[in-house]
Structure 1
Amino acid sequence: MIKRDLKDNFQISISGQDTWYDMSVPGSAMDTFCKEGILPDPYYGMNEYKWTEFWKNDFDIRSTFSVSAEEIASEEILLTFYGIDTVADVFLNGKKLGHTENMHRTWVYQVKELVKEGENLLELHIASPVKFIETYKPEKGREIHFTNTGTTSGSQYIRKAHSMFGWDWGPKLPDAGLFRGVELCCFDTARLGESLIRQKHVDGAVTLHIGSEIEKADGQVVKAGNTAMQSNGNSAAQPESGDSAQPGVSGLQLFYELRDPSGALIYTGADSDIKVTNPALWWPNGYGKQPLYTLTIQLKAGETVLDTREYPIGLRTVTVSREDDQWGQEFAIMVNGVKIFARGADYIPDDCFYPRITREILERDVNACVFANFNCLRVWGGGYYPSDEFYALCDEYGILLWEDLMYACNIYDVTPDFAENIAIEAKDNILRFRNHACLGLICGNNELECAWTDWKDAQGHAPSLKRDYLYQFEFLLADVVKENAPDAFYWPSSPSSGGSFDNPCDENRGDCHYWDVWHGQKPFSEYMKHYFRFCSEFGFQSLPSIKTVETFTGEKDRNLFSRVMESHQKNPAANGKILYYLSETFRYPKDLESLIFLSQILQGYAMKEATEHWRRNRGRCMGSIYWQFNDNWPVASWSSMDYYGRYKALHYMAKGFCDNVAGSIEKKETHIGFWISNETLDPVTVKAKIAVKTLDFQVIEEQEVSKEVPALSAECLFEKEYKELIAGRDDSVFFVVEYEYEQNGQKVSKKEFETFVPVKYLELKDPAFKVTENADGSVSIQTDTFVPYCMLEGISADTIWNENVVAFTDKEAVTLVPVENQKISRDGVRIYDIYHTYH
C-alpha cells in the first residue's frame, strides 16, 4: 500500500478571474487572501465587514500532482478529501468526480480509471455559501423564518459550521476551501476499513471484541472478526461473545497485537476476542490514571502485510445513569461503575480560520483543561467535529467528552437528500471517535428541542418541520449512533428530559441550560434556588486581557462603547450588563484596564458561586459545565481562556472550584457555612482554621474544626450566625478559612474567604505591595492589608502561573510560580487589585 498527502502546488482564484494565489493545504480562501494582503485581517478593528461582499464569490482551486508507475499499477487508487468547505464540484483530469454539500463529511473517490502516470490535474469549484443559502427554496409552507442571535438567515440550509455565519460571540466569516487534508491511497487486493472495538468487563477482567471491515480492490466491503455482537445502546450492558472467523476472502487473514501501557506484548494472534487479565483501567482526570493499551490490526495475504491500523485503547465502561430518585430522575455520567461529578466547560472552534486549528492549539486547549481540574468538555453543536488529534489528546489527559452532533439553535428542512447527507455525516464522524476512551456520550443537538417548546421566535413554523425534528434526532440520527457506536449513550438534545418535547427544561430530569443569571440579569444568589440534575450550560461574560484588546484596537478605540469595542461584542446589550453587574459588587472603575479586571473577577465569582452550590448538592446535581471554554477570535465573551490562549480570571479560579477536593463557603446574609466537596475515590481528613478578621488582619474570632469527608461526597464542616459579632463593622471585617488535607502523601493547604457586604462597601486600604521578581520567574507579593482579589499579568510573555487571582488574608508573602515550560515575562508584570481600580 502507498499512502501520501497531497499538499503541494495548490492554488486558489476567485471564479472568473485569471489571478491565482498559492494556497496551503489545509488552507482556505480567507487564509490565502488575508496572507496575500488582498483583504485585511478580519480580526482587527471593523475589518470583519470588509469581507462581507467577498463571500458572494465562487472560488476555484487547482493542483497538479504526479503519479508514479508503481502507483498507477495498483489495483485500486482512492482520492480522499477529509474536509471540503463546503459546496463543491470536484474534477480530476477534466472529469467530474462528484458534488459535495457538507463540510463535516469525508469524501472518497475511486480514481483508478482517471489518473495517469506523470502529472495529474485536480480541480475544485467551490460555490459561495452565501449565495447557496440565499437561493435555497424550501417547499411552500415549509419556510423557516427563525434566525438565531447574531447569525445569518438561512444558515441552517447548508451543512457547514453554523458559527461561521456568526453567533453571539463570533463574526460572520463563512470561509471556503480545504480545511483538512487530501490523501492519495494506492493498494492491491484489499485494505483495512474501520474497526469497532467493544469491551466486556467481567470479574475483574476485560475482553476486547474486535469487528473489522475489509475493503477489497473491487470496492466490495467484507465484515470480519467479531461481527456477531448485537447493538444494545448502553455501555452498562455488555456484549455477547461472537464469531471470530476470518474474512470470507480467499487468502486474507486478520492478525491482532495488543500491548499494555508499558509497551509489553500481552497478545498476538488471529483471535478477534482478546482477554486482558488484571487490566489497568482508564479514568477521567482526577479519578485515576489514563493508561492506554495499543491494539494493532494487520491485514495479511499469506505472509504479506497489506495494511496496518493502530488504536489506542482505554479500558473502561461509560454510560449515563438515569435512575429514579427522591427528586425525580438523575443524570450522572458513570465511569467504571462510579458516578462522577462532571466539571468543565463548553468547547467551540478555536478559530474562524479553521486551518489554524493545529495540534499545537489543541494541545494548548487540553493542557488548559487539566490545569483547571476539568474532567469534561462539551463539544458544542454549532461548530465542527474536531480532528482525530483532539480525541487522542483527550484520551491521553483524561478529558471526557460530551459530543454534540453539529446542530444548534436552528430548525431544519429535512428533505430526503438532507436526511441521507446527515446520516452519512454522522457515520463518518462517529467512526472516527467511537473507540476513544474519552467519549462520554453523544448528543443530538444544542437547544433545538427547547426551542420548539419555549422560544417565541421558533414558533409559527409548519407542523411538518416539528415532526421532522423528531424524525431527525430521535429516529434517524439515534439509529446511526446505535448502529455505529452501540456502546455509546445517546441523548437527543441539550437541554432535554429525554425527548419527545416532554418539558425539555425540567430541572428534575435530564440536563439543563440556565441563563436567568446574565440574560435575565438576576443576581448571583439566584443560582442557589436551583438544583439541576446536570447543568450543561450557564455563563457570564467578561472582557479579554488588555493585551488582547490592543490586538484589535487603536488607542482611540479603547473605550467600552466605541464602535470597534462594540463590534467585538456580539451579544446585544452585553456591555451594559457587565456594567450593571459590576455596579452591584464593585465601585466604578477609573479606566479600561480596571474595567477589564473587574469584569473578569465578576465572571469568575459567578461561575464559582454556581459550581460550588451544585457541588454541595452532589447526588442531586451531577454536572457543572460552564459556557464557554474558548474563543474563535479576540472578543468580549463568556470564555475563560481568550483567543490567544490567555487565561482570564475565571480559568484560574476554576482550578480551585473544580479541584478534586475543594472547599466552599455558603453565605446566607450573616449566616456562614463551610463545606468540603471530595470528588476522589478515597476519604479525606480536612483540618480547618476558621476566623473573622479586620482588614488589617487582627483576629476577632477564631476556631478549628477537623472532619473526615467520605469519598464522592460533600459535607458541611462548620456553620455559624455572625450577625451579633459583626454588628456595626460589617464593612471592615472579612471571613476566612484556611484548611489542609493530605493527597498522594503530600500536604495540601488552601484558603477561602468571604465578605459580609459587597466589596464596593469595604473600607479597603492601599495595599502598597512589596513585590519581588525572582530569578526563576516566580513573583513574591506581600502586603499589610486585606486584598480580596489580586491578579498578575506578564507585560510581554503570556506567563501562566501555578495560581493566580489570589486573596491576601494575612501578612505572609504569596509566591506565584510559572507552570512548567512557560515563557517568563522578563520585563516585568502588571498587578491588578480592587483598591487600584478606583484609586
Structure 2
Amino acid sequence: MLEATPLTEGWVLRHEGKLLPAAVPGCVHTDLLAAGVIPDPFLGRDEAEVAWVGRREWTYETELRAGSGHEQTDLVFDGLDTAAEVMVDGRLLGRTRNMHRSYRFDVTGMSGLLSVRFVSAYAEAEAVRGRVGERPAAYAEPYQYIRKMACSFGWDWGPTLVTAGIWRPVRLEHWSTARIARVRPLVTVEDGLGVVELHVEVERSRVEAPLAVEATVGGVRAHADIDGSAGVVRIQVPDVRLWWPRGYGEQPLYDVELTLLGGGGALDVWRRRVGFRTARLDTSADAHGTGFTLVVNGERLFARGVNWIPDDVFPSRVTRERYRERLGQAADANVDLVRVWGGGIYESEDFYDACDELGLLVWQDFPFACAAYPEEQPLRGEVEAEARENVVRLMPHPSLVLWNGNNENLWGFRDWGWEERLAGDSWGEGYYLGLLPRVVAESDPTRVYTAGSPWSGSWERHPNDPAHGTHHSWEVWNRADYADYRLEVPRFVAEFGWQAPPAYATLRRALPGEELAADSPGMLHHQKADDGNGKLRRGLERHFAFPEGDFDRWHYLTQVNQARAVAAGIEHWRSNWPVCAGTVVWQLNDCWPVTSWAAVDGDGRAKPLYHELRRLYADRLLTAQVRGRERGLVLAVVNQAAEAWAGVVRLRRMSVDGGVIGEAEVDFRAGRRAVVDVEVPPELTPVGPKEFLVADTDGLRALYFPSPDREIPYPRPEFDVSVAPGAVTVTARTLVRDLLLQADRLGPDARADRGLVTLLPGERVTIGVSGWETPDPGTARSALYCLESGR
C-alpha cells in the first residue's frame, strides 16, 4: 500500500548567511516575521518596509531520507510559490514556474540536502515579459507574466507583498507496482438514480502486473480491470438524496472509496465525498435580452452571492477553521453563492469541503484578472497544466457549479484601450474561448463553463451589456450615485459594491498610536483604491453633510452609506426577478485591514453591510420601489421561499416628528419563488423631506424616504438605554434612524448580533452583545450612533 510521509519538520530558510527556522507550509514573509527580521506589514505603513523581500532569492532546506521498502519514492509538492529549482545534494530534480499546480519528482534511493531555491517572482515575470513582449493591465505590476496569485502584487484593496515559499503541503510517497495517478469522478443523476463514473489513471513502476480497481459509493460496490494505465468504474446508487444549495434543501454527501488492486492486495486508495445534483445555466434569449439563470435540480434560482478574495495575502495562514468561520459568516448572512475571484487562487480542499457542507454554490474563476495575458510559451503550457489539474481536483465537490474563464479581461480588451495597444498580439482570448472550455468539456462535462465576467455571450454585443449575460456595475461608486442602480435591470450582476472603512477596533490595532482621521497617514496607506477617499466623500455629500474633522462621525456615515448603497441595488434587482437572476456583492472578505468594499473586514469583524446582507438575502423581503411615473410607488413583495406567502401589509404615512398622516392595510399573495407588487395608495405616498412611508408585515419592514438625508429635518434623537449580560436595549422616544451599536468600541472582542435599525417613537430593540465583560449603560450609549438633522 502507498505510504505518505509528510515533510513538515526540520526546514530552514537561508537569510544573509543565517539559517532561520521555517514553517512548511508557509512563505518567506511569515518566516521572516516569526524570526523578528521584518515588522508586521499589516501595521501602520510597514508594508513599504518589507518591499525588498519580493525582490530577493530565497532558499529552503531540509534533510531528505527517501529510503523505504518500496520500489519507488516520489517527492510531492502540492504548491510551490512560484519560480523555483528543486535539488538534492546539488542534483537538479526540476524547475517550477506555477503557483497553481502541484509537482512530483522521483527521488527513489536518494538522500541528502533537499533545497528549494526560489528566484524573485519579479525576476521571473520580467524575464517572461522580455520574451513575449509588453501586455497592458489595470496595474503596473507584472502579474500577467507569471502563474501566481495576481493580488500578491497589490490591488485596489490589497497590499503589495510578493510572496515566495512552499505554500502547500509537501510529502514523500513510497509505493510499489502502481499508484493511482488521477481519478475523474463524473457525478450525475439519471432517472432518479445517482450515477458515479470513476475514470481512473494509474502510474506503474517497473514491475508489470495485472491491476484492477474496486469502488464503493452509498453501499454499492463495483469492480473493473485496468487496461494498461486506465480504467472506468460505473456505479448506480438507487434512492439517492439530492444535494441542494442552502435554503432549498439539505446537503447529503456520500463517501466514495476507490482501491487499486494488484499482486494479491491493495496498492493505493482514493477517498472523496460527492453529492448528487444537477446544475445547468439557462442562457435563453427572451424579450429582455439573454438570460443568465442558474438551475439546480430543476429549480431556477435567484443567486444571492458574494465575491471571495484570498482571506489572507499570505494564503498559507488560512486554516480549515478560518475557512469554516468565514464561509459560515456568509451562510449566516443568507448567501447561497460564493464567486472565487480570478485574481486569487484555486482554494484548498478545506474551502470547497465547507461549501459542500454549508450548501454554498461555488462559481470558480480561472486565475486571470484585469490584464492582457500572453498566450505564448512558457505560459500556455502552464495554463493548460494547471487547468487540467484543478478541474479534476475539484470535480468531486457538488458545491462547484460554474467555471468562469476570467475576470474583466474580455471587457478590458473592448473598453480599456487594449485592442489598439496590443496591435494583434495575443492577450488571452485563446484561453477563454478555446483552451479553457475545451479542458472543462474534456475533463468534466458535468460542469457549466462561461468565458468571462462580465460577458454578454458574443462579440456581436458589448461584453458588459446589462441585457445579456453577466454584468459588472462600476459606474456607480466610480462616478455615479447608488440611486443609479435603479436605472437598469441587468440579467445577472456579478460585481457591484461600495467602500467603507473597517471596524474601529480593527483600525486601532492596525494603526497603533495614530490619531485617526479620514486622511491621516495610516488611513491613507490602508486605502488602496484610486481616489478612494474622494469617492467616499462625494458619495457621502450626495446624502449627508460631510462631517469635517469628526472622524467618528465620518466612520459611522461611510459605513451607513455602504449598507444603503448595496441595499439600493439588491432590493431593486431582486424585485425584478426573474429578469434579473442574481447579485454577487463585491466583496465578502478582506485579506488585511483596509478601507474596502468588504462586508467582513480583515480582522473578521462584521461591518453594518454584513448585517444588512442578512436582511437583503433573506427568503422574504419587503421593499419600496418606484415603478416610473405611471405606476409610482409600490411595495415589492419578494418571496424566494418554497411556499406561497400571503398576508396583510400595514402602510403608514408618517411625519419625521412621529405623527401618523394616514394609514391602511392591504392584502397580498406572492407565489413560491415569485415577486408581486402591492400598489401604494396615492394618499399614502409621502411628499417632501418631512414625510416617509412605513410598511410592516410578518416582522418585516420597508421604509421609503422621498428626500435625501441632508434635507430631512430629523428631530434630535432621544432614546433610553439599558443593559444586561449579553444585551443592550434601546427604547426610542423620537424617530431614531439607522441606529448602530459599534460593539467593538465596548471592547475589541465584543460583537453585536445586528447592524442598522430604525425605530419609531415608542419602539424598542434589544441588541445581543457577546464578548463584553463589564456591561454599563453609559459605555453602551457612547457606542451608539444614529442619524441627526444635517449629520
TM-score (norm. length: structure 1): 0.88
Q: Which stretch of structure 1 is more off in the superposition, 50-59 or 599-608?
A: 50-59
Counterpart amino acid of residue 328 in structure 1: G
Confirm or deny: 8 A CA contact 2:145 2:379 kept in the other structure.
no
Cα displacement (A) at 1:799: 4.3
User: Aligned equivalents of 1:726 and 1:396: distance in 2?
Assistant: 46
State the Cα deviation string for residues 337-388 of structure 1 (Å, max 9, x = none): 1211111111111111222111122111111111111110111101111101
Match of 1:604 in 2: 563
State the Cα deviation string for residues 663-720 of structure 1 (Å, max 9, x = none): 1111479942111111123222233211122335332222122322111211112323
State the Cα deviation string for residues 272-310 of structure 1 (Å, max 9, x = none): 332233321111111111111212222233663322222
Counterpart amino acid of residue 358 in structure 2: Y
Q: Which stretch of structure 1 is more off in the superposition, 750-759 or 390-399?
A: 750-759
Cα displacement (A) at 1:798: 4.1
Which of 770, 786, 789 aligns to 1:834? It is: 786
Alignment of 1:119-134 (within 5 A): 120-134=112-126
Alignment of 1:596-745 (within 5 A): 596-667=555-626, 671-721=632-682, 726=686, 730-740=688-698
Match of 1:570 in 2: 528
State the Cα deviation string for residues 26-83 of structure 1 (Å, max 9, x = none): 111111112222121111111111112332211111012445xxx5221121111111
Change (3 A) 1:797 1:563: closer
Cα displacement (A) at 1:721: 3.1
Match of 1:198 in 2: 186
User: Aligned equivalents of 2:102 and 2:789: distance in 1?
Assistant: 52
Match of 1:148 in 2: 138
Please tell me whether residue 5 in structure 1 is matched to residue 1 in structure 2.
Answer: no
Which of 162, 169, 177 aligns to 1:181? It is: 169
Confirm or deny: 8 A CA contact 1:144 1:411 kept in the other structure.
no
Change (3 A) 1:2 1:655: same
Confirm or deny: 8 A CA contact 1:449 1:501 kept in the other structure.
no
Change (3 A) 1:426 1:600: same
Match of 1:49 in 2: 48
Q: Which stretch of structure 1 is more off in the superposition, 799-808 or 84-93?
A: 799-808
SS state at 1:320 partner: strand
User: Aligned equivalents of 1:778 and 1:21: distance in 2?
Assistant: 48
Change (3 A) 1:257 1:133: closer
Confirm or deny: 8 A CA contact 2:6 2:171 kept in the other structure.
yes
Counterpart amino acid of residue 602 in structure 1: N
Change (3 A) 1:384 1:825: farther
State the Cα deviation string for residues 757-813 of structure 1 (Å, max 9, x = none): 2222222234343223322x1322211111221122322244444432111124232
SS state at 2:426 partner: helix
Change (3 A) 1:215 1:721: farther
Alignment of 1:295-374 (within 5 A): 295-301=256-262, 304-374=265-335
User: Aligned equivalents of 1:145 and 1:197: distance in 2?
Assistant: 38
Alignment of 1:580-591 (within 5 A): 580-589=538-547, 591=550
Match of 2:710 in 1: 760
Counterpart amino acid of residue 768 in structure 2: V
Match of 2:477 in 1: 518
SS state at 1:377 partner: strand
Match of 2:741 in 1: 792
User: Aligned equivalents of 1:86 and 1:218: distance in 2?
Assistant: 32
Cα displacement (A) at 1:543: 1.0
Confirm or deny: 8 A CA contact 1:197 1:208 kept in the other structure.
yes
Report the RMSD for the aligned CA atoms in angstroms: 2.2
Match of 1:274 in 2: 235
Match of 1:400 in 2: 361
Change (3 A) 1:581 1:722: farther
Change (3 A) 1:218 1:536: farther
User: Aligned equivalents of 2:153 and 2:582: distance in 1?
Assistant: 30
Change (3 A) 1:136 1:464: closer
User: Aligned equivalents of 2:129 and 2:787: distance in 1?
Assistant: 59
Which of 426, 434, 437 aligns to 2:395? It is: 434
Confirm or deny: 8 A CA contact 1:198 1:209 kept in the other structure.
yes
Confirm or deny: 8 A CA contact 2:505 2:748 kept in the other structure.
no
Counterpart amino acid of residue 815 in structure 1: T
Confirm or deny: 8 A CA contact 2:740 2:786 kept in the other structure.
no
Change (3 A) 1:783 1:172: same
SS state at 1:168 partner: coil
Confirm or deny: 8 A CA contact 2:194 2:238 kept in the other structure.
yes
Alignment of 1:91-170 (within 5 A): 91-113=87-109, 115-116=110-111, 120-139=112-131, 143-149=133-139, 151-152=140-141, 154-170=142-158
Counterpart amino acid of residue 763 in structure 2: E
Confirm or deny: 8 A CA contact 2:304 2:617 kept in the other structure.
yes
Match of 1:210 in 2: 198
Unaligned runs of 5+ in 1: 220-248, 260-265, 741-748
Between the aligned residues of both structures, percent identity stands at: 28
State the Cα deviation string for residues 141-184 of structure 1 (Å, max 9, x = none): x63252424x51x2211111111111111111101111111111
Q: Which stretch of structure 1 is more off in the superposition, 668-677 or 600-609?
A: 668-677
Confirm or deny: 8 A CA contact 2:53 2:162 kept in the other structure.
no
SS state at 1:449 partner: helix
Alignment of 1:816-827 (within 5 A): 816-817=767-768, 823-824=771-772, 826=774
User: Aligned equivalents of 1:166 and 1:790: distance in 2?
Assistant: 35
Cα displacement (A) at 1:323: 1.1
User: Aligned equivalents of 1:566 and 1:493: distance in 2?
Assistant: 33
Counterpart amino acid of residue 543 in structure 1: P
Q: Which stretch of structure 1 is more off in the superposition, 682-691 or 96-105?
A: 682-691
Confirm or deny: 8 A CA contact 2:364 2:403 kept in the other structure.
yes
State the Cα deviation string for residues 445-493 of structure 1 (Å, max 9, x = none): 1111111111136631130325xx3322211222111111111111111
User: Aligned equivalents of 1:634 and 1:543: distance in 2?
Assistant: 9
User: Aligned equivalents of 1:769 and 1:268: distance in 2?
Assistant: 67
Confirm or deny: 8 A CA contact 1:665 1:752 kept in the other structure.
yes
Change (3 A) 1:122 1:760: same
Confirm or deny: 8 A CA contact 2:713 2:790 kept in the other structure.
no
Confirm or deny: 8 A CA contact 2:669 2:676 kept in the other structure.
no
Which of 547, 553, 568 aligns to 2:505? It is: 547
Which of 772, 775, 782 aligns to 2:722? It is: 772
Cα displacement (A) at 1:136: 3.6
SS state at 2:637 partner: strand
Number of positions where the alignment pairs a residue of Structure 1 with one of Structure 2: 773
Cα displacement (A) at 1:195: 2.1
Match of 2:227 in 1: none
SS state at 1:37 partner: coil
Please tell me whether residue 532 in structure 1 is matched to residue 490 in structure 2.
Answer: yes
Q: Which stretch of structure 1 is more off in the superposition, 309-318 or 807-816?
A: 807-816
User: Aligned equivalents of 1:550 and 1:343: distance in 2?
Assistant: 32
Confirm or deny: 8 A CA contact 2:544 2:790 kept in the other structure.
no
Change (3 A) 1:833 1:718: farther
Match of 2:86 in 1: 90
Counterpart amino acid of residue 321 in structure 1: D
Change (3 A) 1:501 1:824: farther
Match of 1:40 in 2: 39
User: Aligned equivalents of 2:20 and 2:580: distance in 1?
Assistant: 54
Alignment of 1:284-299 (within 5 A): 284-299=245-260
